Structure 1
Amino acid sequence: MSGHGQTLGDRLAAARHVIDGSTVNKAVVKATTHEVGGPKKKHLDYLVQLTGAPNVNLPELANQIVERTRNSSWVVVFKALVTCQHLMIYGNERFLHSCASRLQLFSLQDFNDRSNGQGYEMSAYVRRYARYLNEKSASYRSLAYDFTRMRRSSDGQSFKTMNTETLLKTVPVLEQQLCALIDFDANSEVLNNAIIKGAFILLFKDLVRLFACYHDGIINLLDKYFEMKKAQCKKGLDIYDRYLERMDKVQQFFKVAEKIGLDQGDTPDFKSAPASLRDALKEYYESIDGMSLYYITILFFRKKKAQKRGCKKSGTVSPTTPVSQSERDRVIEQEKKLYEQFSKNKQSHSLNASHPVSSSNGVSLMGSQPATPAAIPAGSVSQAIQKPAEMKPVTNDLLDLDMSGQNTLNNLMAVHTAQQQQQNQNIMAQFNQPAAAKYVEPAAAQPVYDKPNATDLST
C-alpha cells in the first residue's frame, strides 16, 4: 500500500497522537504520510505557526521529524526531510537552533529502499538531501547564524564588510554547505514526482541566497587580497580556486531550475572570470617578499620613457606587462648598486657613531669633523615613488568582469602598487634623515681625552 494514499498505519498513528493530546506529533504524522505527493500546505503552515508559539517544545518537534526518517519507506523519509527544511526556511529561527543542538541531525548515509525500482532510485537523493540538512545545521552550530537569513546590506554582519580574519574563517563553512547542496545533482528527468520536485524548489531557494553570500565574500576577498600576509594569501588563493571549480556545478543547477519552470528572474547571469586574474593572484603570492621593489622600479622606467617621448599621460604598470630581458638586467644591476652604496653609507655611519661624539656646534671633541652618511641618490627612487594616476575602483560584481582581464587586473594591482609605494616612501624618508650622534658623558675618574677650552671650540 506504500505510495497509494494514507495507509492504515498513518491513520492509527494520527489517532494515537489525538488520544495523547499531542498536536505537534499529529501534525508531523499528517505531513509525512505514505501518499506520494508533497506535504500538504495546511499541515506545513500549521507547523510553521507552532515554531513561533511560546509554549511549544521545539526540541520535541525536531525529534518527531527525526523519528519519521527511521521509516523504511522513501516516501515518508523524503517528506520528513522536506518538512524539516521548510520549517528551517519559513519557521522561527528557534527551530533551526533546536536542530543544530543535535550532534548529527539525520543518520541516513546507509538508507536504501529496495521495495521497488523507484524507491531504489530515490534513496540516493534521500541520502544527499539528508547530508545537506546536516551541513546546514552544522553551519548554524558553528557560526550561530543562518546564511540564508543574512542581509546583503553593508550594515551589521555581512560578507561585504567582514574583516580578513573573519572572512577566511567563515567562507570555508559556507563552502561546505554550498558543496553539499549542489551535490544533490538532480536533472530534469529525475524530477518526475511532487516530493523530489518540492525538495528541489527548497534547495533552489537556499542556493540563491547562499550563492549571493558566496559572491559577496569572493569580491571582499579580492579587495583585501593585496593587503594580506603570505599565509592569508595562500588561504585566499585556495578559496578562489575552489570558487572557480564550483561555478560550473552552480550554473548547471540553475539550468535545471529553468527547465522545470522556476522563476528565471532569480537566476544570475554567469560569466567566466578571466584566467589572467587568477594568474596575477598566484604571481603575487609566489613573489610576495620581493615584489614591491621590482614593480616600483619598472614603474619608474616606464614613466621616464614616457617623459622623454613627451607623453603627458602616465599610467600604472600592470604586473603582467612583458619586460625585455635587457631592461630587467639593467634595472636589477642599478638596484644592486644602490643597495651596496646604501649598505656602505650605513656601515660608515654606524662606525662614526661609535667614536667620541661631536659638540653642539658640530666640531668633534677629538678635533676631527664628524662623518655624516651620504644620502641615497634621490633622483632614481624619489621619482619612482610617486602617486600613480587615479584608477577606477575594483568592480563590485565578479560576474561582470571584463573578459579580457585587463581592466580588472590593472585596477587590482593599482591598489596594491599605491600602497606599496606609500610604504617605501616612508622607509626612504627615514633612511635619508641622518641619525644624530649620541653624546656620552666621559667618566671623571678615567678621562679619555683632554677637555677642550672655549678657544679650541671656537676654532
Structure 2
Amino acid sequence: MSGGGTQNSLRKALGAIKDTTTVSLAKVNSDYKELDIAIVKATNHYERPAREKNIRAIFAAISATRPRADVAYCIHALARRLSRTHNWAVALKTLIVIHRALREVDPTFHEELINYGRSRNHMLNMSHFKDDSSPNAWDYSAWVRTYALFLEERLECFRVLKYDIEMDRPRTKDLDTAELLEQLPALQQLLFRVLGCLVASESIKIYQAISDGTVNLVDKFFEMQRPDALKALDIYRRSGQQAERLSEFYEPPASFLQAMEEYVREAPRSSAVHKDQADKPKEVLAIEYKKTPEEQEKRSPSPPPEPEKVEKVEDPIVEPPDLLGLNDPVPVASELDEKNALALAIVPVAEQTTAAAAPIPANGTTGWELALVTAPSSNENATAASKLVL
C-alpha cells in the first residue's frame, strides 16, 4: 500500500512539473501565451475544480467577436491537450471546459468545433483513453470515455437540428414528417448517451423534445407511406423504452423508501413544528413591543368615534384675592436644603464633620435640622463664627 501511495504521489508531482514547464514555454514561445497559460491552468493535473477566471479567459477567446483564427487556435490547443494526456483529471477538466463552452458560448463555437472535426480526426474521440496509475484512475478513465461520447453526440445533434437543444426551445412539435424522421433519431441517440453518463440536467429538455416530436409523429402516422411508417414505428418503440428507463432513472430506490417507512414507525411523537409554532407568539409580542408610535398608529385600526357629551356650563367661581400669599407655589425641598446649607456655612469644619458623623435620629431628622440641633450654642462658638464671617 505504501509503495502504491508513493508512486501515486510521484505521478502527481511529475504532472505538476509538466504543467509548470508548459506554462514557462508558453510565456516564451507562444503567440497566444495568455490563452495557452489559461488552458494549462484550467486543465492541470490537480484533482480539484479549475479556477473560474481561467475558464472565462478561454471563453473570451472563442466568442463570436474574436477572429476565427483565434477560435481555431483555441480549439486546436484543447484538442492537443486531450490527445497528449494520460491523466484522467486533465482529460476530464478539458471535457468540462468544452461542455461548458457548448452551453455558455454562442453557437458559432459549435460550428467551429464541427468544422475542426471534419478537417482532422475528431477531437472528442477518446475511445482508447486510459489512466492505469491506480484502480480509481482506471474507473475514472471509463467515465471519461463515456463523457466524451456524450459530447460528441451533442455536437452531432446540433448538426442535425441546427440549434442547441439545451439552449433553445424545442421545435419538434411543429416539424413535418421528413424533419421528424431525421431529428427524432438524433435526439434519441443523444438521450441514450445522456443516460450512459448520468448528466441528469441535460435529459429534461431532450426528453421534452422527443415527447413533443412523438406526439406530432403519431398524428401523422396513418398518412405515411410504408418506408416512413416503418421508421416512425421504430422511433415510437424506442421512445417507450427510453421513457421506461428514464422512469427508473428518476424513481426513488425501494430500499430507501422502506428505510423511511421504518423510521416513521419508530420516530418520536413530538414534532418540532409544533414547538416552533408555540414559540411564535413570543416573537410577535417582542416585535410589537419595539414598534414606534408612528407604526402603531398606522397599523392599529382607528377606534370608533365616541358619542358627543353635552357638558353643563356653570358660572365661573370668583375667588377672593390672595393677600397673605397662601396660594404661592411650595418651594422644592432640595432648594430649601441648598439655601440652609449656605446659611450654615459658618459652622467650623471640625464641628461639621462631627455633626455629619453623628447617627441619624430615629425620628428621621436630617440636613439642616440636624445641624441646628447638634451645633453648640456657647458664646465662644458665636465669637468664632463672627470672626469667620468677617
Checking the alignment, whether the CA contact within 8 Å between 1:168 and 1:236 is kept in structure 2 is yes
Partner of 1:242: 238
Checking the alignment, whether the CA contact within 8 Å between 1:168 and 1:235 is kept in structure 2 is yes
**Aligned partner of 2:40 among 29, 36, 42:** 29
Checking the alignment, whether the CA contact within 8 Å between 1:105 and 1:137 is kept in structure 2 is no
The superposition leaves residues 150-193 of structure 1 with CA deviations (integer Å, 9 ceiling, x where unpaired) of: 314xxxxx1110011111111111112221221225xxxxxxxx
1:253–1:11 Cα change, 3 Å: farther
TM-score under structure 2 length normalisation: 0.56
Checking the alignment, whether the CA contact within 8 Å between 1:5 and 1:34 is kept in structure 2 is no
Partner of 1:214: 210
Identity of aligned residues (%): 23
Letter in 2 for 1:43: N
1:85–1:236 Cα change, 3 Å: same
The superposition leaves residues 267-309 of structure 1 with CA deviations (integer Å, 9 ceiling, x where unpaired) of: xxxxxxxxxxxxxxxxxxxxxxxxxxxxxxxxxxxxxxxxxxx
SS in 2 for 1:105: coil
Task: Compute the displacement of 1:5 (Å).
Answer: 11
Partner of 2:144: 126
Confirm whether residue 105 of structure 1 aligns to residue 146 of structure 2: no
The superposition leaves residues 299-342 of structure 1 with CA deviations (integer Å, 9 ceiling, x where unpaired) of: xxxxxxxxxxxxxxxxxxxxxxxxxxxxxxxxxxxxxxxxxxxx
**Aligned partner of 1:75 among 71, 75, 89:** 89
Partner of 2:190: 177
**Aligned partner of 1:66 among 59, 76, 79:** 79
SS in 1 for 2:62: helix
Distance 1:232 1:126 in 2: 37
Count, aligned residues: 235
Partner of 1:374: none
Question: Which structure has the larger Rg?
Answer: 2
Partner of 2:103: 89
SS in 2 for 1:37: coil
Letter in 1 for 2:52: K
Letter in 2 for 1:15: S
Letter in 1 for 2:134: N
- Map 1:315-334 onto structure 2 (within 5 A): none
TM-score under structure 1 length normalisation: 0.48
Letter in 1 for 2:37: K
1:63–1:255 Cα change, 3 Å: farther
Confirm whether residue 18 of structure 1 aligns to residue 31 of structure 2: no
Confirm whether residue 44 of structure 1 aligns to residue 40 of structure 2: no
- Map 1:160-239 onto structure 2 (within 5 A): 160-185=173-198, 203-239=199-235
1:5–1:162 Cα change, 3 Å: farther
Confirm whether residue 55 of structure 1 aligns to residue 55 of structure 2: no
Q: Which structure has greater helix proportion? A: 2
1:248–1:72 Cα change, 3 Å: same
Distance 2:249 2:13 in 1: 31
Letter in 2 for 1:51: I
Distance 2:240 2:131 in 1: 36
Task: Compute the displacement of 1:255 (Å).
Answer: 5.3
Checking the alignment, whether the CA contact within 8 Å between 2:173 and 2:216 is kept in structure 1 is yes
Task: Compute the displacement of 1:39 (Å).
Answer: 2.2
